[in-house]
Amino acid sequence: MANESSPRPEDSLKQPITHWIGAGAGWLLRKVVSGLAATGITPNMLTFFALAVNGWATVLFAMGRFRAAAGVLFLAGFLDMADGQVARRVGRVTAFGAFLDSTLDRYSDLALYMGLVVYYAVIGRTFYLILAALAMASSFMVSYSRARAESLIPTCKVGFMERPERLVLLIIGAAFNRMGPVLWVIAAISTITVVHRVVYTWQEIRAGRTLRAGPIRLAPFASPQGGQGK
């Protein structure tokens, strides 16, 4: 008697289109990673190459060529996923590699928003210039708040607007020429994410779940070290 719990061939055909998109992208990524690993290219070289591609997208943003920038950003995002995969494939996952990747990601993020700032400054759109600067600052704070929190508590991955989500939104905004609404969404949800992480870290420290040997005495929303949290 056939096992009723085993998936039937016809069931796989009823999967949503997003399932097949994800499966196709995963298959393509694995093939590309296998090819890159075979060439002997190092993960750190891929990380620097991704930074250069993001720089290319920055120039396109500054020139107002948003649709071209969307295509280049897609490539940059693909490379950003590939470097970690290549590192695991060739057994070269290192603490420094993770640090370098994270550091250059911050430069890539800031560069992209600076490209938008330059574009809006050139065309005289002051409001959108300020909006792009606000999105840039809030995006940076999402990363900073997690890094700072994880120097005090084991992990702080709460919130939604991580780098992959921001990158997808920038690609959508550039491809469909809807950058204004996208910047609003990035700025607003990034700020909410930062607030969420501040509250979460405060709660974790109050509960005593810290990386330090003893409990940290903490007044509500005060800096754990009594200063300004530089």
Tens-digit pLDDT profile for residues 83-107: 777 787 777 788 888 899 889 999 9
The pTM for the full model equals 0.78
Q: List, in order, residues 6 or more apart from 175 with CB less than 8 Å away.
A: 66, 67, 70
Q: What's the gap between Cα 91 and its chain centre?
A: 24
pLDDT per position as a tens digit, 38-79: 677 788 888 899 999 999 999 999 999 999 999 999 989 888
Give the model's pLDDT for residue 230.
Answer: 42
Q: Among all chains, which residue has been given the structure tokens 């949800």?
A: 189
What count of residues does the chain have?
230
Rg (CA), the chain: 21
What residue ranges do the domains of the chain occupy? 18-206
Q: Which CATH architecture has domain 18-206?
A: Up-down Bundle (1.20)
Token pair in block for residue 168: 């997808």
CA gap 13, 4 in Å, rounded: 18
Give the model's pLDDT for residue 46.
Answer: 86
CA gap 222, 20 in Å, rounded: 47
pLDDT per position as a tens digit, 165-183: 999 999 999 999 999 999 9
Does pLDDT of 109 surpass 70?
yes
Between 146 and 21, whose confidence is greater? 146
Does pLDDT of 136 surpass 50?
yes
